[in-house]
A and B are shown apart, each in its own frame.
Chain A
């Protein structure tokens, strides 16, 4: 019996956040299942692709735009954001400077990329205890969607799979 051919959509995802929060590491973990402790600054944009199978009939080709981290999201070049379908905003749970302005950062993201699925991710969760993490999130009143560790891989697959589902539903 002939199989139904999978319907594949291509979706552009931009990964935003301050520098050094682990955006590149999250993508490397998701795309290549690799991790390096060595920090290499991203300049400009790296573009990766991974096909995510959602069901026997459905898969999504995620085009992941790994953007250079900046002190302010206002500095992100608009050209990079053209045609974006979904956004990951990443902060580093060990560095308050990356989430202290979270709400205003998210407002900028929503202004630049309106009405697109957006997931907020606290990365490097392996570096703090659960107790510290809960206190930190409570103290800074942070609403997040995922807490991940690119180093251990914790929650990384779930994060991208969830985003793929949202993108699929958003189509």
Chain B
């Protein structure tokens, strides 16, 4: 009985075939494959064409695993043993279709998962490369813009100091306004790029919040009035005077929101309200809201207007770059906040956000105020003294502008160099009070020269105040220049006041 069952089982799962050296089937048992006595085996399936080769080898047994054999619509996955016998070859075919099919499913899942992972890594690398290229482009582009913008701003300032007619003065004001706008756009573009690449780091300092809000109120009351609009400023009385946060970035957020509100509002009002939520521990939580009575934002556009280069485009009426709100969103995320938009089309819009700002300790505040006073007292230097400066700049236009700015102050003797390689020799042979040096110089970079100067054995050279000037205004660049030994770095474009303030803050009276 058992033998019968064994035979049945074996017949369904195994086949035994005996072939002579020419591949002629001498005998066959089992029903897996239609192999019959008298057939030529290699004509049944291409697998068996390898038998001829195997016969030439010395081995007595060959084992082939997981061989797919198709006969018509019948697919088998088999292990095949081939043994050398005196009659020829003895072939044992094991049907393992079920076993291998389950293995196939596992292999399928495994390989697909590995390939998908690889493709995701590649896709991410490609996106990162694109992002890197975009940021590099923006960085280089903004660099290229900074030098001409600086010359243009400075020449406008120089021109405004000459005797001009009222009309010329008015035209110059328009030019000055355009410069301010261009400079802001440049800063916004750079900020967006830095946020996207994760390189923007907030710089928290103690600042006078009330003063900043008053400045905004004054600026936008004037601008709103020029457009025939009313500006409503409603600050809560409990807002602290001094807070600790990134003043520049908060200012950037509020000006972008207010600019946007002014831009799209043709009648009615624009407003800024600052509410007091709570004060807890040493943190104050404020609610900022910018409202307008403009056309409002359709519901389907409300989620997309915070994307880069997104605008409410009405044909022929595009205004601005479409960067402002994206920048606001990005900056607020960095500040652990979130922009909220409420708008009913035709009835205006409100952009609001909550912000937690640290309240400085009394000792920190005192320290901050003392530093501020010291800086103010040094602001315009000692009027009775003339200082000797070394100015190193290779851009002819920027050099002319800087030279003119410094000469107009009437407090400096100036030596000029345009080549970085000449700096070391010049500072050894002359006694300077300060070096004003561009970073990207021909032959040697400004930060490299600074590093060498700081390693000099002579105290008078080693400790020379050095101000760097750069059009590469990314935070990490500025940090690297300071680490190289520069006392401070001015980001181009800068104006005369900023230049002189920086110089006098480093000069000994």
Contact = CB atoms under 8 A, between A and B. Distances in A.
Interface of A: 10, 12, 19-20, 39-41, 43-49, 61, 63, 68-69, 77, 79-80, 82-83, 94-97
Nearest to A66: B68
A94 B49 CA distance: 35
B108 A97 contact: no
Given A20-B111, A43-B107, A82 B54 contact: yes
Contacts of A82: 50, 53-54, 57, 62
Nearest to A39: B112
For the complex of A and B, 7 pairs with smallest distance between CB atoms: A44-B66, A83-B53, A49-B46, A41-B108, A41-B107, A46-B68, A47-B46
B115 A47 contact: no
B9 interface: no
Contacts of A40: 108
A43 B54 contact: no
Interface in B101-124: 103-104, 107-108, 111-112, 114-115, 118-119, 122
Q: Which of A10, A61, A79 has the most CB of B within 10 A?
A: A79
A157 to B, nearest CB: 20
A33 B37 CA distance: 35
Contacts of B65: 44, 77, 79
A69 B108 CA distance: 11
B49 A10 contact: yes
B49 A19 contact: no
Nearest to B79: A44
Interface residues of B, number: 29
A63 B67 CA distance: 14
Contact of B103 (A43, A48, A49): A43
**At the interface, is chain B mostly helix, strand, loop or mixed?**
helix
B68 A83 contact: no
B118 A44 contact: no
Contact of A12 (B49, B104, B118, B119): B49
B100 interface: yes
B45 interface: yes
Contacts of A94: 119, 122
A45 B52 CA distance: 19
A47 B45 CA distance: 9
A63 B45 CA distance: 10
Contacts of A77: 65
B280 interface: no
A45 B66 contact: yes
Interface in B27-69: 45-47, 49-50, 52-54, 57, 62-68
B323 interface: no
Nearest to B100: A43
Contacts of A10: 49, 52
A45 B67 contact: yes
Contacts of B68: 44-47
Most chain A CB inside 10 Å of its own CB: which residue of B54, B66, B108, B119: B66
B19 interface: no
Nearest to A20: B115
B506 interface: no
A45 to B, nearest CB: 6
B57 to A, nearest CB: 7
Given A41-B108, A95-B115, A97-B118, A47 B47 contact: yes
Contacts of A12: 49-50, 53
Contacts of B104: 41, 43
A64 to B, nearest CB: 8
B50 A83 contact: yes
Nearest to A71: B114
A41 B53 contact: no
Nearest to B63: A79
Contacts of A44: 65-68, 77, 100
A77 B110 CA distance: 20
